[in-house]
A = this chain, B = another copy of it.
Amino acid sequence: METADYQRILEDVAHEVAGTVGRGRVADYIPALAAVDPESFGIALADVDGGVYGVGQWQQPFSVQSISKTFTLALALARGGESLWKRVGREPSGNPFNSLLQLELENGIPRNPFINAGALVVTDELLSLTGGDASGVLLDFLREESGNDTVDFDRVVAASEADHGHRNAALSHFMAGYGNLVNPVETVLEHYFRQCSVAMSCQDLALAATFLARHGVRRDGGRFLTRSGAKQINAVMLTCGTYDAAGEFAYRVGLPGKSGVGGGILVVIPQRCTLCVWGPGLDERGNSVVGMAAMDSFTTITGWSIF
């Protein structure tokens, strides 16, 4: 497909979903997120050859939130390998309410690395693997892969998350009680909130994730993950990446994806490209309304799906 094609496809997608921009409910559990303009919309595509295309506010940073879980998972696997899977599963979590019940029945082992409990374990593992610099290592990686040195934590968002972080503190203490957090709970939470607070644009995220479309090869050609390691992260994204809407996302979009309550959705089309959409209005399952519509439109126009 030609460069011009990518740009045109994004424009077609943007045109098609224009009616859904602004729909849904902006996350308001912390003030910093609630303040975002609900009409925001951007979409970017980064191909495996380094090309990048975009429409709308595709270069405006937003709060990546849970999309950061994709990168911390990749870093933990790249540095520590498969032993992570002794501490966290890779099965879909079923339904939202059961995270705690599930933790209780399965002795403190979270179902997968994309529910909060699992991401806290990944952060804990990354803290151990990096000698305590889990957030720093993430930031370095994101800056290098996006080619944007201004990517940074949003300290206001991180502090606000901490102030409203009782649920994550509960999960952390609960797992610590089972011996499945080894660093101090406070440290794990601090790094976790910082990771969620990273501000990046659609362009930044699409570029930073291209290693997943290149089967583990970084932007500079160096290998970051094994071929099968990268495929496995894609598999986990497909089965667990969009909360309890993973089945619906696979059905409608048919591509590995990861969403965040900041309104971003990141998708991987293996061997071709990555795609990132942003629109802060969320559906009842916490996924961007316009983001879901855009992904749907994109796969209809291109006919691309992994199935």
User: With A and B bound together, what is the CA distance between A172 and B171 in angstroms?
Assistant: 11
How many chain A residues have a CB neighbour from B under 8 Å? 50
Q: Which of B90, B93, B166, B244 contacts A251 (CB 8 A)?
A: B90
From A93, A235, A305, name the one whose CB has the most chain B CB atoms within 10 angstroms: A235
- Provide the residues of chain B in CB contact with A240, threshold 8 Å: 247
User: With A and B bound together, what is the CA distance between A174 and B177 in angstroms?
Assistant: 15
User: With A and B bound together, what is the CA distance between A299 and B305 in angstroms?
Assistant: 19
Q: Which residue of B lies closest to A253 (CB)?
A: B235
Q: Which residue of B lies closest to A90 (CB)?
A: B247
Interface check A15, CB cutoff 8 A:
no
- Provide the residues of chain B in CB contact with A235, threshold 8 Å: 247, 250-251, 254, 305, 307
- Provide the residues of chain B in CB contact with A98, threshold 8 Å: 94-95, 98, 101
User: With A and B bound together, what is the CA distance between A173 and B171 in angstroms?
Assistant: 9
User: With A and B bound together, what is the CA distance between A251 and B238 in angstroms?
Assistant: 10
| Given A91-B94, A102-B95: A112 touches B247 (CB 8 Å cut-off) | yes
User: With A and B bound together, what is the CA distance between A173 and B111 in angstroms?
Assistant: 21
User: With A and B bound together, what is the CA distance between A191 and B170 in angstroms?
Assistant: 19
Interface check A231, CB cutoff 8 A:
yes
Interfacial residues of chain A within 86-142, with CB under 8 A of chain B in the complex: 89-95, 97-98, 100-102, 104-106, 111-112
* CB–CB B173/A177 < 8 A: no
* CB–CB A307/B234 < 8 A: yes
User: With A and B bound together, what is the CA distance between A33 and B123 in angstroms?
Assistant: 34
- Provide the residues of chain B in CB contact with A282, threshold 8 Å: none
Interface check A248, CB cutoff 8 A:
yes
- Provide the residues of chain B in CB contact with A105, threshold 8 Å: 95, 97
* CB–CB A239/B232 < 8 A: no
A residues at B contact (CB < 8 Å): 89-95, 97-98, 100-102, 104-106, 111-112, 166-167, 169-174, 176-177, 185, 230-232, 234-236, 238-240, 244-248, 250-251, 254, 256, 270, 305-307
Closest 8 CB pairs of A and B: A94-B94, A166-B177, A92-B92, A234-B307, A91-B247, A306-B306, A170-B174, A170-B173
